[in-house]
Amino acid sequence: MADNMLVTYGVPLVLLILSPFIGGILIGIDRKVTARLQNRAGPPIVQPFYDVLKLFGKEDKIVNKTYLVFGSAYFLTVILSLGLLLFRYDLLITTFTFGLSFIFLVLAGYSTRSQFGYVGATRELMQMLTYEPILLFTVFLVRLVTGSFEINSIYNAAQPLLFALPLALLAIFVILPIKARKSPFDIAEAHQEIAQGPETEYSGKFLGLLYLTHFFELFFILWFVGLFYVKDLPVAGFVIPGIAMQVLLMLIAYVFLIVVDNATARLRVDQMLKQVFILGMILLILNLAYIIVTGRWIA
Amino acid sequence: MSLTELARKKSPWVIHVGSGGCNGCDLEILACLTPRYDASRFGVVSTGNPKHADIMLVVGPVTLKYKEIIKNLYDQMPDPKVVIAVGTCASTGGIYQGCYGHCGSVDRVLPVDVYVPGCNVRPEAVIDGLVLALDILNEKERKILEDKRSKAKGAA
């Protein structure tokens, strides 16, 4: 019994504590790989940690109190949603909490009264408008296949989600760069056009807090993708454990993010809205038809 | 050296301000970010935002109209901050010396910490100046902390 407790509560807790380090290292590797692709030497892999530490040692130039509250709320809700995901709570609530964190970032952008923050927040809202329906639709499809919104039911299902929802995973991959704030959808943080979007007015510790939040966020979205294959895979006598398959899927998503980031240029907001929304919805509806035709759904 | 000081040395974020020169040195600064010189291996990020920046690279002599703007930009940067005057014009006024529309060199407007002369400057010289500025960043922070401490003592 004690051993069981350790697995159900200990492992997620350790992952939650390690997630900023994992996310930071992943961002560092991303910067290094990008630099090598452009034939540059690039910063060291631990560079994101240097950045955050430096920001925590700087002076705070505070504009008003409101945006500090919203920035901290953004930080806390992302950690909360990651915790809910790792402790296998309700998938729907997890997704909504993650969406709420974006809302807090938008409010932070609006409350600074700076035109860069304002434009960035508006673009962030447009991005939410694009990815949130697709994400929710995917969660409903997961419910349809597993019979419950509980994340545990994904682990207890007879088959991994990938076999029932291959096109939904593809739709998630399409919206992945939006959630990771990478090209071609780094519209809200387009630093060549509008400074840093909602983060423009932050400085010092609170900017460091936002950077830490991005580490958590990256880990959240990769773990979310990893949920699509959590079952053991028997291959020629061996059994590959479910956690290994999950990590493999996370790695695929991560490499996909880097490749797409380097291969594409930034889109306009309206282009993103049209292309991603139409493509994502077509994929999801096809997947829904596939589920209904093959009778995999559980009412 | 504490961890924060190490981190500060490893991640200088730069804001690049052109205050009315001929754009020659601006291009050389951009060349620092290209694969040949690659300033990003020292953790340099070029931000367009004074609130995120540690180091201000000023290029060109300060025109009268730009005086207020550059002061404003300097005030928006959080401490510790360093100003580097890049190019002969920014360091001494150069060929704009005595010109009616200019204040002359940057140090008449802002406290400059590092001078990188040259017309145009070489990208290597700019990187040298950046590395010099990193030590000054930590020195400045130590000084600020000391001032705070002595002030607190005086108050008590």
Nearest CB to A50: which of B10, B48, B141? B10
As given in the structure block, the two tokens for residue B135 are 């030590």
Supply the pLDDT for residue A192: 65
Where does the pLDDT of residue A2 fall: very low under 50, low under 70, confident under 90, or very high at 90 and above?
low
The DSSP H or E segment spanning B103 is strand B102-104
Supply the pLDDT for residue A76: 92
Q: Over the stretch B17-34, which tens digit does the pLDDT of each residue have?
A: 888 778 888 888 888 888
- The burial class, CB within 10 Å (0-12 / 13-18 / 19+), for A50 is buried
The reply to whether residue B4 touches residue A54, judged by beta carbons under 8 angstroms, is yes
For residues A128-133, average pLDDT: 87
Best A30, A45, A58 residue to mutate vs chain B (most B CBs within 10 Å): A58
B89: distance to nearest CA of chain A, Å? Answer: 27
**Residue % of chain A over a pLDDT of 70:** 96
| Residue A299 pLDDT exceeds 70 | no
Where does the pLDDT of residue A3 fall: very low under 50, low under 70, confident under 90, or very high at 90 and above?
low
At what angle are helices A166-179 and A242-263 packed, to 10 degrees? 50
The reply to whether residue B48 touches residue A195, judged by beta carbons under 8 angstroms, is yes
What's the farthest any 2 CA atoms get from each other in chain A?
Answer: 63
Supply the pLDDT for residue A77: 92
A75: distance to nearest CA of chain B, Å? Answer: 19
Q: A288-294: which pairs have CB atoms within 8 A and are 24 or more residues apart? A: A288/A141, A288/A144, A290/A167, A291/A141, A291/A144, A291/A145, A291/A164, A291/A165
Provide the mean pLDDT of chain A: 84
What is the value of ipTM here, to two decimals?
0.84
B10 touches chain A (CB under 8 A): yes
Lowest mean pLDDT among A78-87, A98-107, A232-241: A232-241
| Residue A107 pLDDT exceeds 60 | yes
Q: Which residues of A are less than 8 Å from B8 in CB distance? A: 54, 57
Peptide bond into B50 cis (omega under 30): no
Q: Over the stretch A175-214, which tens digit does the pLDDT of each residue have?
A: 888 887 777 777 666 666 676 777 788 888 888 888 889 8
For residues A169-176, average pLDDT: 88
Which residue of A lies nearest to B142 if distances are taken between CA atoms? A57
**Length in residues, chain A:** 299
CA distances from residue B79 to A81, A112, A161, B25, B59 in whole angstroms, order as listed: 34, 21, 51, 26, 21
The reply to whether residue B47 touches residue A56, judged by beta carbons under 8 angstroms, is no
| Residue B78 pLDDT exceeds 60 | yes
Supply the pLDDT for residue A187: 67
The reply to whether residue B11 touches residue A40, judged by beta carbons under 8 angstroms, is no
| Residue B156 pLDDT exceeds 70 | no
Alpha helix stretches (DSSP H) within A180-299: 191-194, 205-226, 242-263, 269-294
Question: What distance in Å separates the CA atoms of residue A240 and residue A204, rounded to the nearest whole number?
Answer: 45
Supply the pLDDT for residue A144: 83
- Pairing relationship of beta strands B114-116 and B82-86 according to DSSP bridges: parallel
Q: Is B11 in contact with A50 (CB distance < 8 Å)?
A: yes
Where does the pLDDT of residue A169 fall: very low under 50, low under 70, confident under 90, or very high at 90 and above?
confident
Question: Which residues are paired to A145 by β-bridges?
Answer: none
The reply to whether residue A203 touches residue B52, judged by beta carbons under 8 angstroms, is yes
| Residue A1 pLDDT exceeds 60 | no
| Residue A297 pLDDT exceeds 80 | no
Lowest mean pLDDT among A147-156, A233-242, A285-294, B28-37: A233-242
Angle at A43 between CA A188 and CA A49, to 5 degrees: 70
Angle at A61 between CA A55 and CA A66, to 5 degrees: 105
